[in-house]
Amino acid sequence: MTLATKRIPVTEETLEMIKGLGHKGQTYDDLLQEMAKAYRREKFLKMLKERREEGDFIDFDEAFV
């Protein structure tokens, strides 16, 4: 896959935080993709939790009675 080079301006503080999240040999592209996937997963789980707390779901066993 051909990578397009893009610049993303960040503060030194943000850069240091990001550096600390990756592992040796991991590219920033890989790290950002991993972070984006984790964010989407957490957002989805938060939505499910909120819906469960609001009573939008029924018990699995009740669904098949």
Digit-coded pLDDT (tens) for 3-62: 788 899 999 999 999 988 989 999 999 999 999 999 999 999 999 889 888 888 777 787
Does this model's pTM top 0.75? My answer is no
Whether the Cβ atoms of residue 16 and residue 3 lie closer than 8 Å to each other: no
d(CA 19, CA 10): 12
